Structure 1
Amino acid sequence: MSRTTTSPRRPRSRRALVATTGALGGVALALAVPLMAGAHVSVSPDELAAGDHGVLTFSFAHGCGTSPTTALRITMPDGLTSVAPTLDGDWTIQVERGDDGLVSAVTYTALTPVPTDLRGAVSMSVGLDEKTPETLAFPVVQQCVDGATEWTQLAEEGEDPHALDAPAPVVTVTDAEASMHGAHGDGEADTADADATATAADPLGIALGTGGLLAGAAALVVAVLAYRRRA
């Protein structure tokens, strides 16, 4: 009488399941970490020349958890000679002025709350003079349906601004003559510098995201090997 022996397969199947779960978790981490690290109100451009005028755009994607954004209140720094908010059909605009008649704060209120999975943006024209400080910080209060986030933190000397939990948008003011000289420089060098700046914009998010991708890829390889051994 012959006897057939069947080797148990559950342990291998379980290992494959665990490996596959690890792969999915790694991919999810890779996608989620940069999103969390990128939760802030940003300003573009982040550099203007002294004595110049420019249009600043403040953008956001999320910042109050899962609660939609209802308003942005942006406080103006000292050193601006003029502020003119941009009319936008998606927002109502309230302007506050100081005793000197200059704009001290602008509040943009959304006609429809902005969901967390959509990007919102508001803009304004600003004027600078030759005495404008080298750094202009624009504290922002992001109001949401539930709660609010105050983007008001400023980096201390030697501190990485990307390490702050709620950094205020900051514009660097460059020397007018240096800016004009740079405008006539090598265009390819300017493009390379811009690419380098964009790459280094959020080193923490990039590093953690890359780690998540590597972990996910390694777990996926383990899952494939386990599946082949089972087959």
Structure 2
Amino acid sequence: MQSAFRRLVLTGLAAVSFGLPASAHITFENKEVKPGATVKFVLRVPHGCDGAATTAVRIALPESLSDAKPQPKPGWMLSLVTENVQNATATPGHDHGGTGNLKEIAWTGGRLEDAHYDEFVFRAAISKAATGRIFVPVVQQCDGAAARWIEIPTDGGSSDDLKHPAPSVRVEP
């Protein structure tokens, strides 16, 4: 009797999980942010690419995010792409060793098997002028494949209508 109940529960859980397409996408743990706040972004990578292990995660930071600082990840190499900015009035030490605005963050050289889940973390300041949604394009590189989570819905559109939506957060006033 107990095994029949267990099968029923597992079958129900499987049916519910198949009804949640967003779980297959790369998403942020955060759902909402406030303008002017500094936020810890947790990027959730729920699987590899069509069965292949993830070997790199690269993100492009939009203009509405600044002062980004990635969290190193054991077993992964961290690389940054900056836009060099000449600022004669910068106060030494206030850019935390940076040479310009951070534009891209990449975690490479690790291995996240398709059957496993992991998170990649960075923090960033939200622009005081930010409104609507902030989209952060991500390229997930895998053994012999890549998933480009870069699609951004048109005005009035929904990420639910896209095959590879860029992860996003809503800006709350």
Matching of residue 125 in structure 1 with residue 119 in structure 2: no
For the residues of structure 1 that align with 2:48 and 2:160, how far apart are their CA atoms? 15
- Counterpart residue type for residue 52 of structure 2: S
- Counterpart residue type for residue 139 of structure 1: P
Change (3 A) 1:161 1:86: same
- Counterpart residue type for residue 103 of structure 1: L
For the residues of structure 1 that align with 2:66 and 2:20, how far apart are their CA atoms? 36
Q: Is the 8 A contact 2:48 2:113 kept in 1?
A: no
Matching of residue 152 in structure 1 with residue 150 in structure 2: yes
Matching of residue 86 in structure 1 with residue 71 in structure 2: yes
Change (3 A) 1:82 1:117: same
* Pairwise CA distance, 1:63: 4.5
* Pairwise CA distance, 1:90: 3.2
What corresponds to 2:165 in structure 1?
A: 167
Q: Is the 8 A contact 2:48 2:115 kept in 1?
A: no
Q: Is the 8 A contact 1:79 1:133 kept in 2?
A: no
Instruction: Kindly report the root-mean-square deviation, in angstroms, between the aligned alpha carbons of the 2 structures.
Output: 2.4
Correspondence 1:45-60 to 2 at 5 A: 45-60=30-45
* Pairwise CA distance, 1:158: 2.7
Which 5+ residue runs of structure 1 have no aligned equivalent? Answer: 1-25, 176-231
For the residues of structure 2 that align with 1:128 and 1:144, how far apart are their CA atoms? 30
What corresponds to 1:11 in structure 2?
A: none
Give the structure-2-normalised TM-score: 0.77
Figure out how many residues of one structure are paired with residues of the other and give that number. Answer: 150
Q: Secondary structure at the match of 1:125?
A: strand
Q: 1:75 aligns with which of 60, 74, 79?
A: 60
* Pairwise CA distance, 1:135: 2.3
What corresponds to 1:105 in structure 2?
A: 104
Give the structure-1-normalised TM-score: 0.59
Change (3 A) 1:36 1:116: farther
Correspondence 1:3-42 to 2 at 5 A: 30=15, 33-34=18-19, 38-42=23-27
Q: Who wins on radius of gyration, i.e. which is larger? A: 1
Which structure dedicates a bigger proportion of its chain to helix?
1
What corresponds to 1:227 in structure 2?
A: none
Which structure dedicates a bigger proportion of its chain to strand?
2
Which 5+ residue runs of structure 2 have no aligned equivalent? Answer: 1-10, 86-99
